[in-house]
Amino acid sequence: MGSRKKVRTEVTDEPDGLMTGQLLIAMPSMNTPHFAQTVIYVCAHSPEGAMGIVLNRPLASPSFGDLLEQLEVTPVPPVRQIDLFKGGPVDAARGFVLHTTDWTGDGSLMVDGGVALTASLDVLKAIADGGGPARGFLALGYAGWGPGQLDREIQDNAWLSAPASVDLLFDTQHETKWRRAMAILKVDPILLSGRAGHA
């Protein structure tokens, strides 16, 4: 979908420090507009870098139907709709569907715990026809980190990490998702400062 820029999504077998399938929760001190109070699902993390999808930045436009029309995916209007999100600041013209693994295609990246990421039009066609995965959303763009960058940001207390659940990934209570992600760690954001230690 969108531009054909190569996204590195390979995950190595090296387990130490890898956060694939985990949530990243922005610390209250994070004031970068793209990431303030965001919750990110890490889809791939290796020594060569990391990529993830922001879970709580819904887009009012375009609608799913409008996007299908632009991509010439039928039927329009679709039999079924999914939400659109701003997935991150990198490659914002490219679309990624984060979804449950009850449906997968040839290009699907299996992430963890019943969650997959698909960047091909096949998943959009399946959804438009009324099928596809039971739960999912379309993210435009992604969050990306170079080699060692995410690890350094975590050490610098920019992010907390927490286990992910399918319900938190795909529920529609976007305004409270950041606080609820903090609550997984039994952390009150009001009590945190930029110099707090890791949870």
Domain with 90, as residue range(s), is: 22-191
Residue 18 CB neighbours (<10 A): 18
Q: What is the mean pLDDT of the chain?
A: 88
Does a structural domain hold residue 13? no
| Domain count of the fold of the chain | 1
Cβ pair 82, 136 in contact under 8 A: yes
Q: How far is CA 89 from the centre of its chain?
A: 12
For residues 131-141, average pLDDT: 97
Is a pLDDT exceeding 60 seen at residue 162?
Answer: yes
Does a structural domain hold residue 10? no
Handedness of CA 1, 20, 24, 183 (dihedral sign): positive
For residues 60-69, average pLDDT: 93
Long-range CB contact pairs, 170-176, < 8 A, 24+:
170/100, 170/135, 170/136, 170/137, 172/83, 174/55, 174/56, 174/57, 174/58, 175/56
For residues 65-86, average pLDDT: 94
Does a structural domain hold residue 15? no
Global pTM reads 0.87
List the one residue out of 162, 195, 139 whose CA is nearest residue 24: 162
Question: The domain spanning residue 53 has which CATH number?
Answer: 3.40.1740.10
For residues 44-73, average pLDDT: 95
> What value, to the nearest 5°, has the Cα angle with vertex 8 and ends 14 and 171?
90
List, for residues 21-48, the tens digit of each pLDDT value. 999 999 999 989 999 999 999 999 999 9
Is a pLDDT exceeding 90 seen at residue 58?
Answer: yes
Q: How many alpha carbons fall within 13 Å on the CB side of residue 13? A: 0
Does a structural domain hold residue 144? yes
pLDDT score recorded for residue 194: 45
